Amino acid sequence: MAQKTTLRGRFLKTCLLMILLSILIALVLVMGMLAVFISQVPGEDNIVFAVLDLLRGRSEGISQILPYIVLGAVLLCLCVAVVCIVLTSRLTGQIGVTLRTLRQDADRLQAGELDFEVLSCRERELDELGKSLESVRQRLKTAANAEAKAQEERGLLMANLSHDMRTPITAIKGYVEGIRDGVAGTPEKQAHYLDIVYSKTLVLEKLVRNMSDFSEYELGRMQYHFEYVDMLAFLTDLGEEYRLEAEEAGMTFTCSLPRGRYLVTADRSKLKRVMDNLMSNAIKYSRANGAICMTAEGYEGGLVIQLSDNGKGIGSEALSHVFDSFFREDAARSSAVPGSGLGLAICRSIAESHHGKIWLTSRKGEGTQAYLYLPLQREEDIL
Ligand SMILES: Nc1ncnc2c1ncn2[C@@H]1O[C@H](COP(=O)(O)OP(=O)(O)O)[C@@H](O)[C@H]1O
Ligand SMILES: [Mg+2]
C-alpha cells in the first residue's frame, strides 16, 4: 500500500518547491542580466573588473543596465507570484476535491444510502476521516441488514402464528357445530366433544401467550410480577407436567431435586415460560429413544437448574448464536420442526431480569444441556 503523506508534509513539500522554483527563476534572471551586461563590455579581459565596478556602483554601464535590473526584479516578483499561486491552488484544489467527496459520502450516509464504498485518500488525516466514514457505513449496513432480516422473520412469525391458530379454531368450530346440530347425540359424546374443544382452547391460549410474549419482548416491555418462589415446589410441579408431556411424545423424563429450601424472587409465569421453552426444545430436537432429565443443585448463593436431553445436539458454531433473536440451526424454511428462533432469546432476557444466567452446552449428535442459574433470596432479607 502506498505511503500516505500528512497534510503538513504536503504543505511543506509545496513550500519547498516554491522556494526552489523561485531560486531557479532568480538565477535565470541574474544570468540573463549578466549576459546583457557582458555583451555591452568590450573585450573579455574586462569582464571581471566590469562586474566588480558594477557591484561597487562605479561603472558607467550602471545607468545602461538599471532598466534591466528593474525589469528583472519585476519579472522575478511576477514569476515567484505565479509559481506560488499555481502551487498553492493545486494543493488546496486537491484537498478541496477530497473534502467535497468525503462530504458527499457523508450526505449519502445521512440520506440512508449504504451501497457504496468510501474511497481512500492520499493525505493521511483525510484518509483516516474516510476510514471512519467507511466503518460507520459498514456498521449501518450490518444493522440495516439485520433489521431487514428481523422484519422478514417477524412477518414470517406472524404468518406462522396465525396459520397455527387457524387449525384449533377450525376444530373448535367443527365440534361446537356438532354439539349444536345434535351430531353428538349422547351425553358421553357431548362430553367428549367438549373435552376436545377445551384442549383446543388450551392450544390457542398458549399461542396467544407466545404472541404477546414475542411482542412484549420485541418492544422491550416485559412486565414482571415478582414474588418469593419456593423453587423445589415449583420444580416438582413442573416435573409432573413435563413427565406427562415427555411420555406423550414417546420419551422418558426423570427428575432429581435436592433437599432443602431454595427461595428465589421471581415472576412465576415468566420462569415457567423459560422452563417450558427449554423443555419444548428438548422434545422438539430429540431423536428416537429420547430421554430428558431435570436436576437442580445449589451453587454459589444460587440454584442451578439443568435440563439435559440426548437429542440431536447443536454444532459448536451454532451454539454461539442460539440466544440470538430468530436464530435456528436448521434455518431451512422447509424445516418440519415448528419454531421462531425467539424462544431462547426471550429466555435470556427473562433470566437476566432475574439477575440470573442461562447457557447451553452441547455436542452434535449426543445431546444438549441447558442451565438456568438463579440467585437465591437471602433468608435474613425475607420479611
Ligand atoms: N435441546 C436442543 N437440542 C438441539 N438444538 C437446540 C436445543 N435447544 C435449542 N436448540 C437450537 O437452538 C435454536 C434456537 O432455539 P429457540 O430460540 O428456542 O428457537 P426455536 O425453538 O423456535 O427453534 C433452535 O432452532 C435449535 O437449532
Ligand atoms: Mg424454542
**Tens digit of pLDDT for each residue in 169-196?**
999 999 999 999 988 889 999 999 999 9
**CA 32 – CA 338 distance, rounded (Å):** 94
308 and 342 both lie in a single domain? yes
Task: State which residues form the domain around 265.
Answer: 227-381
Higher pLDDT: 36 or 139? It is 139
Note whether residue 133 is domain-resident: no
Give how many domains the chain has, as a whole number.
3
Give nearest CA residue, ligand 1 atom 7: 281
How far apart are the CA of 276 and the centre of ligand 1, in A?
12
Higher pLDDT: 322 or 75? It is 322
Q: What is the mean pLDDT of residues 73-83?
A: 86
Q: What is the mean pLDDT of residues 10-28?
A: 87
Please enumerate in sequence order all residues whose Cβ is within 8 A of that of 184, keeping only pairs 6 or more positions apart, or say none. Answer: 175, 178, 190, 192, 193
Note whether residue 121 is domain-resident: no
201 and 320 both lie in a single domain? no
Higher pLDDT: 326 or 354? It is 354
Give nearest CA residue, ligand 1 atom 9: 281
> Which single residue is written with the C-alpha cell 481512500?
120
How far apart are the CA of 268 and the centre of ligand 1, in A?
23
What are the grid coordinates assigned to 298, written together? 445449589
* Nearest ligand atom owner, CA of 371: 1
96 and 198 both lie in a single domain? no
3-state secondary structure of 294: strand
DSSP assignment string, 4-72: PBPHHHHHHHHHHHHHHHHHHHHHHHHHHHHHHHHHHSSSGGGHHHHHHHHHHT--TTHHHHHHHHHHH
109 and 172 both lie in a single domain? no
Note whether residue 131 is domain-resident: no
Cβ of 285 less than 6 Å from ligand 1: yes
30 and 105 both lie in a single domain? yes
Cβ of 364 less than 6 Å from ligand 1: no
Cβ of 282 less than 6 Å from ligand 1: yes
Higher pLDDT: 78 or 32? It is 78
What is the DSSP code (8-state) at residue 340? Answer: -
- The residue from 219, 238, 263 where one domain ends is 219
**CA 149 – CA 84 distance, rounded (Å):** 56
Instruction: Give the CATH number, domain containing residue 352.
Output: 3.30.565.10
Closest CA to 305 of 274, 260, 284: 274
Cβ of 278 less than 6 Å from ligand 1: no
| C-beta separation of 296 from 305 below 8 A | yes
Note whether residue 140 is domain-resident: no
212 and 251 both lie in a single domain? no
Q: What is the mean pLDDT of residues 12-21?
A: 88
Cβ of 328 less than 6 Å from ligand 1: yes
Note whether residue 126 is domain-resident: no
- The residue from 169, 186, 219 where one domain ends is 219
261 and 345 both lie in a single domain? yes
Residues, CB-to-ion distance under 5 Å, ligand 2: 277, 281, 343
245 and 214 both lie in a single domain? no
Cβ of 311 less than 6 Å from ligand 1: yes
- The residue from 92, 113, 134 where one domain ends is 113
Note whether residue 191 is domain-resident: yes
Note whether residue 172 is domain-resident: yes
Beta bridge partners of 297: 304
366 and 232 both lie in a single domain? yes
Q: Using the predicted structure, report yes or no on whether residue 44 has a pLDDT greater than 70.
A: no
Report residue 1's pLDDT band, with 50, 70 and 90 as the boundaries: low
Flag the least confident range among 148-152, 282-286, 354-358. 148-152
